Structure 1
Amino acid sequence: MVRTVNILGTEYKVIREPFADKDIDGYCDYTSREIRIRDDNVNEVGDFDELMRKQLRHEIIHAFLAESGLQANYEHYRQFGHDETLVDWFAIQFPKMIKAFESVNAL
């Protein structure tokens, strides 16, 4: 199933596919405007759906950074393009952040 997400005016395809034995759960390719997410639970993760929602948020954050011109301005720019710790922090904390913003009508 292919869906799209608007990232600062640019449409990205979100593609779920089997990654089999690849050692990744997803990636963002800002050159092709595609986000690819694992759909096979080969490692038998307990709450696979929750993990993939976090992974999708992670890849969307990469896309936002890339579309903001920040695709190569971080510590791991040669390998990943962004600092993975920072991207993961936002991906993990964003659901809590949006609840806090909504609770005080800050959106």
Structure 2
Amino acid sequence: MEKVNVLGTEYKIIREEMKDAEYDGYCDYTSKIIKLRTDNVNKLGDFDCLMKKQLRHEIIHAFLYESGLGPNFEHYKQFGHEETIVDWFAIQFPKIVEAFKSVGAL
């Protein structure tokens, strides 16, 4: 089983079939579990790429929760965090890391 350390808290990463679920993964901060789908129900061409982005997305949720920012976003009653900004970080993070590396900012 994969695990990731999020600000000193260990989250388990579980990959499983989600069949008809309308989401590709989720972060349960109460049980410290991140779940990702393994079944490519939408027949996407690059499912692996999507799942890497989804894993980043869920880890960002975990960082926000562990930072004390769980209920402090506009859509917290629906999603827990503002999904647009979480997705932005998940998508742009690899590019940000490369930019930081290129100028010795890490």
Aligned residue runs from structure 1 range 28-47, under 5 A: 28-47=27-46
Q: Which runs of 5+ in 1 are unaligned?
A: none
TM-score, length-scaled by structure 2:
0.99
Q: 1:106 aligns to what?
A: 105
- The size of the alignment, in residue pairs, is 106
The letter for the 1-side match of 2:72 is N
In the other structure, the counterpart of 1:90 is 89
Listed as ranges, the gaps of 5+ residues in structure 2 are none
One-letter amino acid of the counterpart of residue 71, structure 1: G
- Looking at structure 2, the residues matched to 96 and 60 of structure 1 have their Cα atoms a distance apart, in angstroms, of 17
| Deviation at residue 79 of structure 1 after TM alignment | 1.1
> Residue 23 of structure 1 aligns with which residue?
22
Q: How many Å separate the matches in 2 of 1:73 and 1:81?
A: 8
TM-score, length of structure 1 as denominator length? 0.98
Deviation at residue 74 of structure 1 after TM alignment: 0.5
* Secondary structure of the structure 1 residue equivalent to 2:70: coil
Output the CA distance in 2 between the equivalents of 1:90 and 1:37: 18
Moved over 4 A (4+): none
Q: In angstroms, what is the RMSD of aligned CA positions?
A: 0.5
